[in-house]
Every structure is written in C-alpha cells, then in structure tokens.
Structure 1
C-alpha cells in the first residue's frame, strides 16, 4: 500500500478554486491522462445547493472515465472505468475513488490562506507499492491546476480568476 501527498499555493481565492475543481467537466483540463469524464447518472438532488442537503452531506456523483495509462515501457493503455466523486462544499473538499481490487481513492482539500490565495492539498491511496512515478504525476497535476487557474482567461468563462 502507498499513500502520496502533495500541496501547492495557488493565487486564486479558495471559493473560486473550489468551484473550478469541483466541476467534473474540468478534470481533463488538468489531468491530461484523462481523455473523457462524464456522469454515469443524472445529477443528484443534493447538487442543487447547500439548502438541499444536511450540513457536511456530500454531493455524490457516479462518473465514467477514459484514461491513457502508462504501461511500463509499452504503449499507453486506454482504460475505461467507473468511479465516484464526493463534493463537500462546506469544507471545500473532494473525495474520489474507483471500485475494484486496487482500492484507489483520494481527496483534495482547498484551504484559505489570504485574500486571493489558497492552499491546495491532494492525497492519494493505492494498493501499489510506493512509486516515484505516482508522486511525479501528482506534482504535475498540481502544477497544471496552478498554471490553469492563475492565467487570465482568453475568453469570458474559460478559467477562474481571483
């Protein structure tokens, strides 16, 4: 089993960063190995807003993903999988996982640092032995998120701004 964690400071307000990251349509923007993500079921009623659920109740989304997975020197494999994402607005956190024998799951937390600045922390748990490649992918994802959200949008609505 292996646990991985990485953090970065992002020059975007915590609520703006959370709004961007909690939209599953944006996943392929900052996780380039994901080629497709879509809901496997209609959005749940709890997704209508905090007033539609109990405090700390997550919005649970079932999703289907397609990814290119490195195959250790071989050509990348295309993998289709079911997964889930829990979104907890009050904590500005996301939890996700994929069913199966791999026991893959993770969480993402966004903390307020100062006006227009956030701390983004991602944790992953896998049944694989510790692997530097996983740490490298995690740092790459954080760098991509930071670069994506900190750049000014080219057209209105492209990326968040603080």
Structure 2
C-alpha cells in the first residue's frame, strides 16, 4: 500500500475552507476523476466518475470531525483505500493537509507507469492537481492558468457556493 501526503496554503479562513471541503457534494469541484457525489445517509456517500479511461461507481464512508477540522474517508470496494484531510489555521489563512493510502489495481498501476514513469510519480502529480484545484476553488481563481483546461473544468466563480455558507454573496 502506498502512502501519499501533500499540503497547500490557502488565502481563506480555515473555517470557510473546512466548510467547503466537508461538503461531499463539492468534491467534483476539486477531484478531477469525480463527476457526482451523493450522500446516502449519515456518514455514507456514493461517487461516480471516470479514472484512467474507465467509468466507476463506488460507495464508502466519510467521517467529519468539525472540532478538529478533519475529514476521513474510505471505500467499500477498495479495502486498502482511505484518506484524511485536515485544515489548520496558517498566517491569516488556512493550510490543507491530505494523507492518502492506496494500492492501485494492477491494470491501473500499469497504465500509471506508462503515462508517468512510476506509480509514485503519478500519485504525486494527482495529489498536486487535487491540492491546486482545492486552492483554486477556495480562492476563486484557476490554479494553473497555463494548463490546458475546458470551461467545464474551471472552478465556480463563487469560491464556496451556497452549500458552504448561507451567504450567497461570498
């Protein structure tokens, strides 16, 4: 099982960043492979998306720890997959840390090696993309303006949308 970590500084208050990240339906805004997330009851979610050219549907668990600004998750289908995201105060803004544990399916690992040279390198790139997309969504800007992206890939113009705050003007 591979362990991957990353962190990024965000120029928004930590409470607002956690409010955004702790809403599972916001995941498609920062997880490139996720198209849709649906809550299936307390602590349960279902996700649909496409990864490495294959559509997927997965269900799993999610645990929010608002007092620690921490979120943990795992998959029902992939028993060796799980992660944790934590948001901390940092110099007038926030720092988001992610820890991911995963062993890719052998066919996916082979494709990752072909595309990126090594599974670890592919996972580091994916982590960087995810952290950049979180920053872009929270700050309301494109994380990599020179990267080729379609209009559908850009973050919403409002950094948190209506799900993270009751103030629609944010």
Q: TM-score, normalised by structure 1?
A: 0.76
Query: 1:64 maps to what in 2?
Result: 46
Distance 1:102 1:39, change over 3 A: same
Query: 1:105 maps to what in 2?
Result: 82
Aligned equivalent of 1:139, options 104, 109, 128: 128
Tell me the C-alpha RMSD between the 2 structures.
2.4
Counterpart of 1:90 in 2: which secondary structure?
helix
* Distance of 1:156 and 1:6 partners within structure 2: 21
* Distance of 2:73 and 2:139 partners within structure 1: 24
User: 1 or 2, which has the higher helix percentage?
Assistant: 2
Aligned equivalent of 1:150, options 132, 139, 153: 139
Query: 1:18 maps to what in 2?
Result: 18
Gaps of 5+ in 1: 45-60, 71-75
Aligned equivalent of 2:103, options 119, 123, 127: 127
Aligned equivalent of 2:63, options 62, 72, 86: 86
* Distance of 2:138 and 2:69 partners within structure 1: 16
Distance 1:79 1:88, change over 3 A: same
Q: Give the drift of 1:154.
A: 4.1
Larger RCO: Structure 1 or Structure 2 (Cα < 8 Å, ≥ 6 residues apart)?
1
Q: Give the drift of 1:100.
A: 3.4
Q: Give the drift of 1:110.
A: 0.6
Structure 1 runs (4+) greater than 3 angstroms displaced = 152-157, 159-162
Q: TM-score, normalised by structure 2?
A: 0.73
Gaps of 5+ in 2: 110-118, 142-155
